[in-house]
Structure 1
């Protein structure tokens, strides 16, 4: 009697050698390209602006080595304010885009579409070669993946390249490990194993969830090797196949631990900081509320894959209300998902011995493992729902769905036309919805309005629309949407601040600025705007105090990216108190910090014209002269000060040390 594993291998090999394979891959690629052709005309929107347009690593303003110590947004990983998202390979592709075509959005989108097409083709190959789906059903799975509307955020949004690139490398890693059906069971080559680890590491450098492919490879290897492992356990004797599996498992686990250790070390001892606006459930004091909400969010993500109709680029701030009671009807969705998972687990365990339902096991692994980090069960994430994180898990969902269709097809004879018609209709609907959704990503205005239509209770959507209307000088409409944002989220500091800037009565504006500072004590713009109000009220001392607070906050947050803001604020302080030497010295020091030595010299000299032998200015001039290669002049300056002023020996000695 033929062994179960051999029977499975024969099935897979026959699918791999199907002569229509080339046509299948070409068809899937054509669908992917046609669905996203209209995304090529899109602009930089949403997160594309800070991740690309404002990212010094992308613009070539830093060395290549900086890419490996900075996060996805160009901030040092060691910075406490870093987002801690480490994706240097994705940033490197952005930089290559910039070198080849500048900041032309067309080519950034084109790279995304090409990568998505590659992912769809590789997924189709996995379905044929490893999952063992019949070629025509593998083509259906690939086509549904290529056209699925939930992928529009990852493909049409430029920053979604992290997910698409990670998916391509995820599939390459899996195929390197398991993609050779002609090999005997449990005879995975050493080259294939280390190649899979290499691609897995690259996937992690594209986006963090990419590293889960290494665990997927190991678990699927365990499934394939289970008959031999079980025999060794019951016979208390290690056979050849079990020994080989143990060696592979040891190498995989050591590699995985090594990669995870590197990734954890890059956190520099601090976890990313998220706010209650980013993930309200994570900050709720009730454990029951957190548990019920997180479980429901998992069910909601599955619903988005199953019915991707209501889509949004942002799901924060009240988009999905928290589940505060067991009696909430939304818990039924959680129960339904739980029942589905229990049934899948039961069928999967039963199949470990017979190994007749490879797509079932593979679908579960592809669905669960990459999605696990986004469930808030392992770590707290900075989002409620994010369609882009479903890019890889949708692979498993589609394998399960198409495998179910294949089983139904096999049991039907007379009514197969119904399945065929339904499949074609679903594919057409997906294609149409994707094309329409791509249009939402073409501009900032279209994206915000589509998001507000999908999640009208999202305070951030109203805030973003108000900002857009404010930029278009439609102030009455902007005030209305700021009011809506504050109605939905009364502690929204940025909405209070921007609302204050539109108030014609200073007293009303001051109320909003104070509210913004109350809810966000580190809000730079609110402090600055409140300082302007104090200036109008002739409260110069209070105005200067607010502006000094601004300078301190900006420096703490990131002096590299806000040097212009610090310079402008310090200049404003000097205008308010033009005869205060301390203000001029502080401005001169900042000029030295950002490398403007000439401006530093001029301002220090202005202080000396007001107060001869001013200690800080003498020190500043000495340091500036040394930086410009004039150490001898700096020493002569210090000596002259010492001669002209009694008791200046300390100043002289400090200045000479600075030289």
Structure 2
């Protein structure tokens, strides 16, 4: 298959690397994040994940879910995401600066690829420049760049865009090496994050919209047939991915919430309106938002966002008509906006507290930027070459750039540490229990108990059946040495969720502090049975055994802990102290 496609003129001297320059600009905007800490899931996925400590665990990445290193089950199969984390760990250890640096780098690369994508499909370099600026500088990406664990979204975007561009090269030249490159990129996309599966859908729509040559089929049926043939090779990758996923997870689709199909559909307008608002009004971002499931069609929660979305769509349609935008351009931009967003709209796979997440819009922002840049360039007469930019258009582009840069710099400050992040979340989503829980935990970790306890009380009043909330409250009371009160909340957490290993672990430690070593031993052993590699569990059992006078048993448990977390100096010191204690005991024996 070899066809002609729209071409832009060769680069004039001085603008050849304009895409790279825009990528570097997007890097500079996020330079402030280099001093940020690990936040939110970074602590579990990275700082406390033993599977990242050695290359010997790499094969495990392809055989289990993304949280397997922590004995926490999930239905997220992302081996290349884990491999990316392992590479960062090998280079930087647990120094956040390096991790943030690579997150910035992948966002810059994604920005360069968006420039190339728009330039390629629209054959307009000026529009591509504006689209790349909007994409690279838009504060909607703060979550994906300032948060280390959010780097999966730029990574999957890189694979998808690279796969699409490779497909265009194959479409233009007919060389099979480009098709092979596209298939390889597609494999990288699906193994990085689940939304990577959408690449064939994007290619399918593109083929339906784009003519090939004068002999191309013109009927809708013929175009659909041609598009189906074009994406057929990608079926092999999909099948292989499904097999690997099911083998690793023993299931296919995740189920994080019990929302029904009707509720899911009724909730979509609220989510889509949130995303639309965040794209056009670049402020008021947060990690969490209050988006409860919508249960009735004739409700304010459904009708208002539907009406607002309808107004937005009609306004864009009217403007496109006035500016005489080609239908193919509109549909191409819509494809790049909607198709990457589809996996995130399957709400049973998402916990209710995170129905709306700005990171889900990462690649979709490319479609938004494509459409907005096209509208602006149509409204302001120009030529496709950068040297022909009118001065007022340059001034307008500079103004948009300044606004986006300022908004991005301001919004990223909320990600500097957990307390700042979750204070922001509670201010934006005061009824989101995860936001309240995480803020209380973060304050408690800073020993700010006076502020943490009232927030725990507020969260439990809103959600009295949350095992995680009860555990976190109990653990905080344990740290405050209020062991009887801690046991009350920890026991309730264990009653609500009998698989919560942490609850049993700290029930045991509380009993140990109160002098009930036998109860403590049973509870800590049960915690280990539930989660064998839980950090600190074997160390805790060792402490219980030491209290009972079983020094050899304490040494054995501490050795298991050290084998799970090799190189941990605190565990090594503890083991040495136990060995010395045993030696001293033997010397005292007659």
TM range (shorter): 0.7 to 0.9
Within 5 Å, give how 1:192-203 maps onto structure 2: 192-203=178-189
Higher RCO (C-alpha under 8 Å, 6+ residues apart): 2
In 2: Cα distance, 1:338 partner to 1:537 partner:
62
Deviation at 1:363, TM superposition (A): 1.1
Aligned to 1:116: 107
Within 5 Å, give how 1:357-436 maps onto structure 2: 357-376=327-346, 380-382=349-351, 383-410=354-381, 423-436=397-410
In 1: Cα distance, 2:228 partner to 2:318 partner:
25
Secondary structure of the equivalent of 2:69? Answer: coil
> Measured at CA, do residues 437 and 328 of structure 1 come closer, stay the same or move farther in structure 2, by a change above 3 Å?
same
Q: Which has the larger radius of gyration?
A: 1
> Measured at CA, do residues 331 and 229 of structure 1 come closer, stay the same or move farther in structure 2, by a change above 3 Å?
farther
Given that 1:513 and 1:530 are in contact with CA atoms closer than 8 Å, whether structure 2 keeps it comes out as yes
> Measured at CA, do residues 92 and 109 of structure 1 come closer, stay the same or move farther in structure 2, by a change above 3 Å?
same
Within 5 Å, give how 1:165-204 maps onto structure 2: 165-179=155-169, 183=172, 188-204=174-190
Within 5 Å, give how 1:544-623 maps onto structure 2: 544-545=518-519, 547-557=521-531, 559-562=532-535, 564-569=536-541, 571-572=543-544, 575=547
Given that 2:144 and 2:154 are in contact with CA atoms closer than 8 Å, whether structure 1 keeps it comes out as yes
Aligned to 1:87: 78
Q: TM-score normalized by structure 2? A: 0.80
Given that 2:494 and 2:504 are in contact with CA atoms closer than 8 Å, whether structure 1 keeps it comes out as yes
In 1: Cα distance, 2:429 partner to 2:545 partner:
43
Verify: 1:519 aligned to 2:505, yes or no: no
Deviation at 1:554, TM superposition (A): 3.1
Deviation at 1:178, TM superposition (A): 1.5
- Matched residue count: 550
Given that 2:511 and 2:519 are in contact with CA atoms closer than 8 Å, whether structure 1 keeps it comes out as no
Aligned to 1:34: 28
Aligned to 2:567: none
In 1: Cα distance, 2:542 partner to 2:334 partner:
58
> Measured at CA, do residues 511 and 89 of structure 1 come closer, stay the same or move farther in structure 2, by a change above 3 Å?
closer
The one-character-per-residue Cα deviations of 1:365-407 (angstroms, maximum 9, x if unpaired) are 2112111110016x52243122222111111111122222233
Aligned to 1:468: 442
> Measured at CA, do residues 567 and 105 of structure 1 come closer, stay the same or move farther in structure 2, by a change above 3 Å?
closer
Aligned to 1:129: 120
Within 5 Å, give how 1:24-423 maps onto structure 2: 24-60=18-54, 62-75=56-69, 81-132=72-123, 134-179=124-169, 183=172, 188-225=174-211, 230-231=217-218, 247-269=229-251, 271-272=253-254, 274=256, 282-284=257-259, 288-315=262-289, 319-325=290-296, 326-329=298-301, 331-337=303-309, 356-376=326-346, 380-382=349-351, 383-410=354-381, 423=397
Deviates more, 1:162-171 or 1:464-473: 464-473
Q: Which runs of 5+ in 2 are unaligned?
A: 383-389, 565-574, 583-590
Aligned to 2:422: 448
Q: CA RMSD in A?
A: 4.1
Secondary structure of the equivalent of 2:66? Answer: coil
In 1: Cα distance, 2:233 partner to 2:334 partner:
24
In 1: Cα distance, 2:520 partner to 2:102 partner:
46
Deviation at 1:35, TM superposition (A): 0.8
Deviation at 1:18, TM superposition (A): 6.2
In 2: Cα distance, 1:387 partner to 1:29 partner:
20
> Measured at CA, do residues 573 and 16 of structure 1 come closer, stay the same or move farther in structure 2, by a change above 3 Å?
same
Secondary structure of the equivalent of 1:152? Answer: helix
In 2: Cα distance, 1:498 partner to 1:569 partner:
21
The one-character-per-residue Cα deviations of 1:345-377 (angstroms, maximum 9, x if unpaired) are 9999xxxxx994433222122112111110016
Within 5 Å, give how 1:503-518 maps onto structure 2: 508-518=485-495
Secondary structure of the equivalent of 1:266? Answer: helix
Q: TM-score normalized by structure 1? A: 0.72
Deviation at 1:410, TM superposition (A): 4.3
In 2: Cα distance, 1:390 partner to 1:482 partner:
31
Deviation at 1:143, TM superposition (A): 0.5
The one-character-per-residue Cα deviations of 1:581-631 (angstroms, maximum 9, x if unpaired) are xx99899799789979xx9xx99xx9xxxxxxxxxxxxxxxxxxxxxxxxx
Aligned to 2:431: 457
